[in-house]
Amino acid sequence: MATRRVAIAILGEDPRVASVAAEALELMGLELAGVKVHSVPVPCLDEAREQLRAECVAAFVRSVVEESLVALGIVGADAYVPGLNFVFGLALPSLRVATVYTPRLRIGASYNLFRERLVKEVMHELGHVYGLSHCPNRLCVMSFSNSLLEVDMKRPAFCRRCASLLRRAGLEPRALLE
């Protein structure tokens, strides 16, 4: 059975976002193991792009969280992976780490809309950590989002198929699409 315990590393973001991320954990049947605040890792900065290299940040987050726990990074800086202009988040399932990048989630958003977007992206990236791939159901939180419109369109819930796969991984998701 997969560990249900997740530790959050906050990097360059208001530590209060941890409570928003904790909402996402609850919806997935996960347990918050702790929260620590860290500086954004300077070696991960691509100065030419003025963005963080998401894989570097994920490796850093993994390094500051106890190995027995799943690691979640909430990062207050923009990031990318090669081949994409930006990412809302990144999961490296083999390392049991997920990261979510908040600046783009704040664009044109009230605080409530930002919270909803952050919950969805945390659920999405942790879904990958627990074995889920992208879902063709556009309302499922595991649907791929290439824009804020797509983030806003999906729901903070798993479709039946994705929920079933999470149950097989030992989780008890509480947010299900009707």
Tens digit of each residue's pLDDT (9 = 90 or more) over 8-43 = 999 999 999 999 999 999 999 999 999 999 999 999
pLDDT for the residue numbered 1: 47
66 catalytically annotated? no
**pLDDT (tens digit per residue) in 37-49:** 999 999 999 999 9
CA–CA separation, 170 vs 165, rounded Å? 9
CA–CA separation, 166 vs 16, rounded Å? 28
CA–CA separation, 38 vs 28, rounded Å? 25
pLDDT for the residue numbered 3: 87
Residues 103, 76 contacting (CB under 8 angstroms): yes
Class of domain 5-168: alpha beta
- The residue ranges of every structural domain in the chain are 5-168
Task: Express as a percent the part of the chain with pLDDT over 70.
Answer: 99
Which candidate in 23, 66, 125, 150 is catalytic? 125
**Mean pLDDT on 168-173:** 94
Residue position matching structure tokens 């791929």: 144
